[in-house]
Amino acid sequence: MVSTPFTSRPLSLSKNTRMPGLQARGWGAARAIALCLGLPLLAGCAGTGQSLAYYWQSVRGHLQMMGAAEPIGDWMDRPGTSAALRERLELARQARSFASSELGLPDNASYRRYADLGRRAAVWNVVAAGPYSLTLHTWCFPVTGCIGYRGYFDEADARAEAARLSADGLETSVYGVPAYSTLGYLNWAGGDPLLNTFIAWPEGDFVRLLFHELAHQVVYVQGDTRFNESFATAVERLGVERWLSERSTPRARADFAASEARRAAFRMLTRDARARLAGVYASPADQAAAGTALAAMKSAAMQQFRDDYAALRARWLADGATPAQLSGLDQWVATANNASFGAQAAYDDWVPAFTALFEREGGDWPRFYAAVRALAARPTADREAALRALQPALPAAAPPAAPRTSAAGPPAGPAAPPAAPTPPETPIA
């Protein structure tokens, strides 16, 4: 599963696109049972009323999505399909073939059909963390184990879950997710489809998402979100670099390079902010006793993050970026909290280690995947020790910020808990 806080101007594909009638009635009880096993990122087949309700919304939502999907060729042959959509579907065909032939990713049914869901996200994720922790709250499911997010097909249901967690004292974030992986379990039923939620992304970002989601079908470790997402993110970054160098245009390469430079700068900014917050939260032996001082240090670290982003944003605008291109980042920063920082870390933490492993294996994709599978088979502690050994040294992060003082003198109080952000579904351009 992948999501970003970045935004851009998408292509307009609205002309004459449609959502075909749902085809779910022919799936019998046996397939519904298979879905229970095959929606590992969404569904848990437990027996409580709340768990059953969650399971059924997962099955229903996925059935609707699968029923709306039709083969790319059918869309291409339809007279009412817009020129922009035809162009993107052809790009998808080429990128899908490249993924298997050049990157060693699975050659199966996934991403050979397209569905227009008529909404801006495939699912909405809920993440949560404590007021003085970057460790995500987890939910446990069959197949995936315990993961740090919970997905809903209805945004209102996701926000209701976030409200429940907030009432328990957790910081929460709700964000739209453009795509998710069923890990290959449903390739017999047509596989994961292309969706309107990301079909109009800029070329580099569109193909990297395909590579990311297909990577989840190569290796997936039950209960280790950081490993799974960092691996898939490493594959997408390495894969899109090769795609752009071999198959793309100079304009697409230049556009992607500019957006990737901003992405890298923002990753560094948030890495430093996470390090400061981690230092704040680790500093007192007794958080309850630390009280106001701890809250003030947290508030100061968050304010420093916002100030640093404001300076970075000003440089981007001076270099030619537009406010529309940065609107997703603006929203993410304005509402950032422990939950959103914790969710972002899952996608980034081990990426340098996986990149180093790829280089160690000579840039050979089958050897790289075999090495990753060998890591995945190791116990968690051994696996993380091996990744740490591969991890290149990073520049030291700035120390925790000192509490800021108001004009009256005493430390400023903690900021009010931010509202859960909903990052736009398209990446930075």
Write the CA distances from 86 to 19, 81, 145, 203, 208, integer angstroms. Answer: 16, 7, 39, 14, 19
pLDDT tens track for 199-230 = 999 999 999 999 999 999 999 998 898 999 99
For the chain, 429 residues long, give each residue's pLDDT as a single digit of tens.
Answer: 533 333 333 333 433 333 333 333 333 333 433 444 444 444 333 344 457 888 889 889 999 999 999 999 999 999 999 999 999 999 999 999 999 999 999 999 999 999 999 999 999 999 999 999 999 999 887 766 788 889 999 999 999 999 999 999 999 999 999 998 899 998 999 999 999 999 999 999 999 999 999 999 999 998 898 999 999 999 999 999 999 999 999 999 999 999 899 999 999 999 999 999 999 998 665 555 567 888 999 999 999 999 999 999 999 999 999 999 899 899 999 999 999 999 887 788 899 999 999 999 999 999 999 999 999 999 999 999 999 999 986 554 444 433 333 222 222 222 222 222 223 323 332
Phi, psi (degrees; rounded to nearest 5) at 227: -65, -50
Contacts of 183 (CB under 8 A, 6+ apart): 40, 41, 143, 216, 217, 220
pLDDT at 51: 76
Pair 300, 405: CB distance under 8 Å: no
Strands 145-147, 150-152: pairing is unpaired
pLDDT at 54: 87
User: Is residue 34 classed exposed, middle or buried when 0-12, 13-18 and 19+ CB atoms within 10 A define those classes?
Assistant: middle
User: Is residue 416 classed exposed, middle or buried when 0-12, 13-18 and 19+ CB atoms within 10 A define those classes?
Assistant: exposed
Q: Which pair of structure tokens corresponds to residue 354?
A: 């996986």
Amino acid (1-letter code) at residue 138: T
Question: How far apart, in whole angstroms, are the C-alpha atoms of residue 174 and residue 151?
Answer: 9
Question: How far apart, in whole angstroms, are the C-alpha atoms of residue 300 and residue 291?
Answer: 15
pLDDT at 144: 66
Residues in the chain: 429
Pair 159, 153: CB distance under 8 Å: no
CB atoms near residue 65 (< 10 Å): 20
Phi, psi (degrees; rounded to nearest 5) at 188: -65, -20
pLDDT at 203: 95
pLDDT at 275: 94
Question: How far apart, in whole angstroms, are the C-alpha atoms of residue 55 and residue 69?
Answer: 21
Name the residue with tokens 């969706």: 195
Indicate the SS3 state at residue 233. helix
pLDDT at 290: 63
